[in-house]
Amino acid sequence: MAFLFNDFRGWKTYCLEKNIPLYRAVIEFEVEQRNRTEAEIWAGLLNAYTVMREAVQTGLEEDMSSRSGMINNGAKKVYKNPTTVLSPEFQKLISRALAAKEVNSCMGRVVAAPTAGASGILPGTMYTLQEIHQLEDQQILEGLLVGAGIALIIEQKASLAGAVGGCQAETGSAAAMAAGAIVYCLGGDIDQVFNAVAITIQCMLGLVCDPVAGLVEVPCVVRNASAAAIANSSAQIALSNVSAVIPVDECVEAMGEIGQSMESRYKETALGGLAATPTGQAISKKVLIQDIEILPDHD
Amino acid sequence: MSGKSGIFDMIGPVMIGPSSSHTAGVVRLGRAAIRVLGSLPDEAVITFYNSFARTYEGHGSDRAILAGLMDFKTDDKRIKESFEHAKEKGLKYTFKSVGNASTLHPNTIRLQLKKGDRSIEVLGESLGGGVINVAEVNGFTANFSASSHTLIITAKDVKGAIAYVSEILSHDDCNIATMTVSRKGKHDVACHVIEMDSGLRPLTLEYMRSIGWIFEIIYIPDIDL
Ligand code: SF4
């Protein structure tokens, strides 16, 4: 069983052999590896989804301005904007992903899924999916389990941490989880779910982690919105049986390879990319503490 | 915290933002330190080192540490309003920043806490994902994670002390996970830090406190409970 979440192929074979849906295998894994009961698992998932929904609400209702000033109630502005680019649903999707992530940046309560930096993506996508398709909570929870299985494999084969694999590992993995969950919830089969994951990874590959001033705000917040959008576009493509061509396991390998070869200034160190721009530097000077005692060099 | 991740590492933990190493880990360091003190402090001097030194405001680690010192849990919404709560509770605090402390982990905090006559000092590291290491207690090497049950024994450096202590623990059916012993000098004061898989009975703790060559026993059950 421990082998199960080593790759997508193994997960599929296991489910086909036992004739069970994808989420069942994730439950069996957790029961066996973590000694949890099924009831505990469902309760934990419901709690997580409740916190996700609350984060969306909080971000759209309460004041969301961060200490640095870089985050300033962006989600509400998008939600209330009379100009609708695509459709009201799309506008809601984007504002909800922003909302939950803004809550994270402003010291509110969120679910790290898979990480705190990516904590707006599953709330934004699942909330909106449930609303549009009138899904039961139970279906969303099953979708979250599928997402968890996806993340377990990515963690094994690549990474989920910006400091290790760049932002593709954080927001990219969250988008992949969301895409798989969406396809599952809309009745997609195993191949369609995995294809959605493959397509999403292809869209997110190479994204570096370059947070301004080292704070999880810019570009993290807007990337949660774009990742939510990509999850939906990938799901739409996968549900129409348009192949990613490169199989999902190979896409994950590519993500790991790219993450490994990324220079460390693109891995949460705030030394490259947006963090290194003149404006990024100026902000960093302003928000970081300057009154600091510097010890003399040793050796 | 066992090796392989589970689903609630992927969909979870439920936490206060912005990041597990700057908020959750820091709250847990505060919670561990007040257990070493044995009560909520009246006064705290908090020193942020290295990577923490410049970013502690932006990441809210200042609010997180005060929250921990007031015994809030890592998912408590009050963390955001820690300053207000500290004021209400009369907790006095000072923040300091020290950079380039090359011998220390990048995310290190020193806590000097006072309650009445008692004062303690704890040096802690936030390792990522909310995991912590309490590196030092009152100048002694400690190295415990505070996620199992921890026993800190300050005693005279006498022969056979380690064997004696482990014998007592084994009578309580207690499995020792890690043990760190350090001392000021030969026949001086020694500090035993023991991490155990299960908890101890009050009776066992009472007994150990009655032993002549033991100066102090600090018992810290899992800080997340
Ligand atoms: S830029 Fe870095 S810190 Fe921000 S969301 Fe991406 S991985 Fe996380």
| DSSP string of A226-280, one letter each residue | HHHHHHHHHHHHHHTT---SS-HHHHHHHHHHHHHHS-GGGBTSSSSGGGGSHHH
Q: Whose CA is nearest to atom 8 of ligand 1?
A: A117
The rounded distance, in Å, linking the Cα atoms of A79 and A61 is 11
Name the β-bridge partners of B111: B46, B122
Residue A77 lies in a domain: yes
Q: What is the mean pLDDT of residues A11-30?
A: 96
Q: B34-58 burial string, b = 16+ CB within 10 Å, else e?
A: bbbbeeebeebbbbbbbbbbbbbbb
Q: Does domain B11-138 have CATH number 3.30.1330.90?
A: yes
How high is the pLDDT of residue A228?
Answer: 98
CA distances from A132 to A10, A89, A129, A137, A186 (A): 33, 8, 5, 13, 11
Q: Does B159 touch chain A (CB under 8 A)?
A: no
Which residue's entry shows tokens 């806590």? Answer: B111
Closest CA to A142 of A280, A22, A281, A59: A22
Domain holding A54, by residue range, is 4-284
Token representation of residue B49: 């080192």
pLDDT per residue over B159-197, tens digit each?
999 999 999 999 888 889 999 999 888 889 999 999 998
The CATH number that applies at residue A90 is: 1.10.4100
Dihedral sign, Cα of residue B2, residue B3, residue B4, residue B6:
positive
Distance to chain B for A247, nearest Cα, Å: 23
Whether the predicted pLDDT of A168 surpasses 60: yes
Whether the predicted pLDDT of A119 surpasses 80: yes
How high is the pLDDT of residue B2?
Answer: 42
Give A1's pLDDT tier (boundaries 50, 70, 90). Answer: low
Give the 3-state secondary structure of A116-134.
Answer: HHHCCHHHHHHHHHHHHHC
Residue A291 lies in a domain: no
CB < 8 Å from B in window 67-126 of A = 67-68, 103-117, 119, 122
Q: Does residue A114 have a cis bond before it (omega within 30 degrees)? A: yes
Q: Does residue A219 have a cis bond before it (omega within 30 degrees)? A: yes
DSSP character for B22?
Answer: I
* CB-CB contact of B42 with B114 (8 Å): yes
> Are A106 and B54 a contacting pair at CB < 8 A?
no
The values of phi and psi at residue B49, to 5°, are -110, 155
Whether the predicted pLDDT of B1 surpasses 70: no
The rounded distance, in Å, linking the Cα atoms of B156 and B159 is 9
ipTM score assigned to the predicted complex: 0.94
The rounded distance, in Å, linking the Cα atoms of A23 and A31 is 12
> Are A289 and B55 a contacting pair at CB < 8 A?
yes
Q: What is the mean pLDDT of residues A254-266?
A: 95
CB < 8 Å from A in window 22-51 of B = 23
Q: Domain B149-220 has what CATH class?
A: alpha beta
Count CA atoms within 13 Å of residue A61 on its CB side. Answer: 7
Count: domains in chain A? 1
pLDDT per residue over A189-227, tens digit each?
999 999 999 999 999 999 999 999 999 999 999 999 999
Give A5's pLDDT tier (boundaries 50, 70, 90). Answer: confident
DSSP character for A65?
Answer: B
Pick among A46, A58, A107, A153 to test the B interface (most B CBs inside 10 A): A107
Give A33's pLDDT tier (boundaries 50, 70, 90). Answer: confident
Q: What is the DSSP string of B49-68?
A: EHHHHHHTTTTTHHHHHHHH
Q: Outline which parts of chain B fall under CATH 3.30.70.260.
A: 149-220
**Run of H or E residues at B191:** strand B189-196
